[in-house]
Chains A and B, each alone.
Chain A
């Protein structure tokens, strides 16, 4: 599973090597960079996204300090481009040219949401956490469609200017797994 580069970065955080801001949550104006693969660290533009997925895994990056906020795995983001006609009203309102973003951390046990596969309970592709099989529909605000997850993935508003993507606000909803009450 090659989608959770964030965990390695936490190691650096412990060693005190992380620059300030690298464990802070995404902030308005942050840019987005690939968190894995051959293009790791490279800026993500709208041109990198194909309609219909798969999602790109990303870190937020402070445009002023150039610090990548990879010191907390809770900052990992899924960015996907879908046909706006497939999105529900609320999700479409938040989308920029069909592009939407969510936290990559499952709301059940905090595992990374790594798969883009056909749902166990429908014919559409969904985000899936392979730890415990929770599925989320990005077309409908990442609501839970299967599995033990108690709530949707937190959404991250995006802005698009001249093909360049940036963060437009804080996470909407709680990031991370469930704690006992």
Chain B
């Protein structure tokens, strides 16, 4: 690198050449000092770090840092940026461990950066196979354990890297990418186990969650999300439907360290039309409670039965202690893709339904019975042989982007979408391994804007104890498709809109306090960390995947919205102006 730089300067003017030489000061290389990650550190993370997908095992997406707060956030300014060099959806939170940042991008890159200066330590680039078919070209981050990192790839491998150098330590094939198996999530690390769940709900897979030994990559257990013959719940399927019934598990689970229970969300049933797989179809569209040591299913709750809408419920529920009717409930809170805001109770052996209410308009549910089963309106349930319309669209009230919970305000912040409906004509399609298997023609999938709609995206603040909506911010010309993060500075950070802005809202009132236009649209997750007494906010801006799909559909609806959201990933880091 140095040689080429020196050669290059002969071609350049003196001033430019000087700049060029100066840039070589930021030489990449191994990390000199790295803090090993332990069970204790993951269970009680230091306030200045962000080492799990949602920072803490309870999934709150909350930083206890408050240097940046409602009174000074107007002075938030970029301190460094870093181009990732690739397009498509940059969905990963920048993971930070004592001053070192790890960013993952589409195409299987991991970039290690100095979190204070933005200088690169090393970069890992996965060599993806030429014939790989990436329906979701993205990645949601690396898991940390001891001095290693764990990456789940779209060619369906889990790869362990040396955190200091980026060198591959082990590389384990999970299943076969040629059969529509792939991985996009950040692995969940619990006590030296690397736990991932497979994607492929649009390819007729049978979903699973699998744990590997962090040291060597040996498989420890694998739990299918669809029960096999002889297992409880198998009778919720007919014939051989269970073998290809979907139930992918493509988002990181949360973990209750008190009861040693993992809570993992499960995706849609396959193919989409419900009458192609009659029955309740356990455990699709459910949350599973798993023993991290054995993978044994301890309990479950199915959000909706016989999924027919592509409504993955993969976003893991948040573990929140709620004061409700004079008692504390150890709850699970999940604003669902199925448009229902779910409040459940977790006990060591059961998950109980507590409450549920629609948080966006839906014509699919007529109500919820006392056991927590939503009551479906058959007029809005897709079947084979006719076109069926339903609200919300197949992207749901809230897709995979995470909501956040602030312990200070007691509110849940939901990146929701309103005024969208969808529909498709179900058809019988033979399954061919590795091919899309939707039960409809892809070109037939519709997204419709409700007549008279004056906005699409909504950032909603709910009190989960009372079911009361406290505030809402509407986005008139964009959907909202990015994860939300709350901080102890009473701020809520979110991107997610097609105008490329990154925004901070007042957590108590919903007032927009700060915004910054970025290079691209943001579909990633904001994080916060602190180094040497300075609090930082970090986000990846890089539009793509489903945010772009909805964008294309909106443009087709010709409603005068931004047609071009430029792609290309950049890590942005902000701090208060000094």
Contacts and interface: CB of A to CB of B under 8 A. Distances in A.
Interface residues of B, number: 41
B293 to A, nearest CB: 33
Nearest to A181: B85
Contacts of B137: 109
A50 interface: no
Interface string B524-561: 00000000000000000000110011001001100000
A115 interface: yes
Contacts of A74: 130-131
B453 interface: no
A120 B544 contact: no
Given A111-B134, A180-B85, A180-B86, A7 B435 contact: yes
Contacts of A8: 432-435
A4 interface: yes
B442 A1 contact: yes
Contacts of B434: 4, 7-8, 10-11, 73
B131 A11 contact: no
Nearest to B178: A10
Interface of B: 85-88, 105, 107, 109, 125, 127-128, 130-135, 137, 176, 178-180, 429-430, 432-438, 441-443, 544-545, 548-549, 552, 555-556, 567
Contact of B88 (A14, A130, A148, A181): A148
Contact of B130 (A4, A117, A176): A176
A4 to B, nearest CB: 4
Given A14-B176, A115-B443, A180-B109, A4 B436 contact: yes
A180 B125 contact: yes
Contacts of A177: 130, 132, 134
Interface in A153-181: 175-181
Contacts of B567: 148
Contact of B135 (A73, A115, A131, A175): A131
B107 A111 contact: no
A112 interface: yes
A139 interface: no
Given A14-B176, A132-B549, A148-B548, A1 B441 contact: yes
Contacts of B556: 120
Contacts of B125: 180
Nearest to B126: A180
Given A110-B132, A112-B133, A114-B442, 9 more contacts: A4-B432, A11-B176, A11-B179, A14-B176, A73-B434, A147-B552, A177-B130, A179-B107, A180-B107
A175 B137 CA distance: 18
Contacts of B432: 4-5, 7-8
Nearest to A109: B134
Contacts of B179: 7, 11
Nearest to A146: B552
A61 interface: no
28 contacts: A1-B429, A1-B435, A1-B438, A2-B435, A4-B432, A5-B432, A7-B178, A7-B179, A7-B180, A7-B432, A10-B131, A11-B179, A11-B434, A14-B176, A14-B178, A73-B133, A109-B137, A111-B134, A120-B556, A130-B443, A131-B133, A131-B135, A133-B548, A133-B549, A148-B88, A150-B87, A180-B85, A180-B107
A69 interface: no
Contacts of A115: 442-443
Given A4-B432, A180-B125, A120 B134 contact: no
Contacts of A1: 429, 435-438, 441-442
Contacts of B442: 1, 114-115, 130
Contacts of A175: 130
A111 B131 contact: no
Contact of A11 (B86, B127, B433): B433
B51 to A, nearest CB: 26
Contacts of A7: 133, 178-180, 432-435
B132 A148 contact: no
A178 B134 CA distance: 11
A128 interface: yes
A128 B552 CA distance: 13
B86 A111 contact: no
B87 to A, nearest CB: 7
Contact of A128 (B128, B132, B438, B443): B443
A72 interface: yes
